[in-house]
């Protein structure tokens, strides 16, 4: 088990987990229940966290997480990868081949 992502946004934790599963990476969300109790716990202690089941998936998982979680301020226009894949502006890397945004 290894943590690949934590966020104060429960929706993002769910999204990241879905994406990882789509890529065949077994993962789970921790602290989701505590998240609703926010205000009574130190903020960082109760953020939802995404954990992967197999450590060997870590590099691949981090790649997916990083691609999925570009801050809004970095979101640009949609772009087309060198492999021909059309990528939405909030993603910094190609889903298909992993190339970074040019």
Residues that bind Zn ion (CB under 5 A): 81, 83, 85, 94, 96-97, 99
Specify the residue, 20 or 81, whose C-beta has the smaller distance to Zn ion: 81
| Whether 93 contacts 99, CB under 8 Å | yes
DSSP code of 77? S
Cα dihedral: 4, 20, 9, 100 (round 10): 80
Name the nearest CA neighbour of 93 among 44, 82, 55.
82
- Pick the closer one to Zn ion by CB: 29 or 62: 62
Measured from the CB of residue 81, what is the shortest distance to Zn ion in angstroms?
A: 3
Residue 66 CB, nearest distance to Zn ion (Å)? 15
Beta carbon of residue 6, minimum distance to Zn ion (angstroms, whole number): 28
């Amino acid at each position: 088990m290894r943590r690949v992502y934590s966020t104060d946004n429960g929706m993002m934790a769910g999204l990241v987990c879905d994406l990882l599963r789509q890529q065949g990476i077994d993962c789970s969300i921790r602290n989701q229940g505590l998240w609703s109790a926010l205000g009574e716990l130190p903020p960082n202690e109760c953020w939802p966290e995404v954990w992967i089941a197999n450590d060997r998936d870590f590099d691949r998982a981090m790649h997916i997480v990083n691609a999925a979680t570009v801050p809004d301020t970095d979101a640009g226009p949609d772009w087309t990868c060198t492999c021909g894949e059309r990528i939405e502006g909030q993603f910094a890397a190609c889903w298909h081949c992993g190339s970074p945004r040019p």
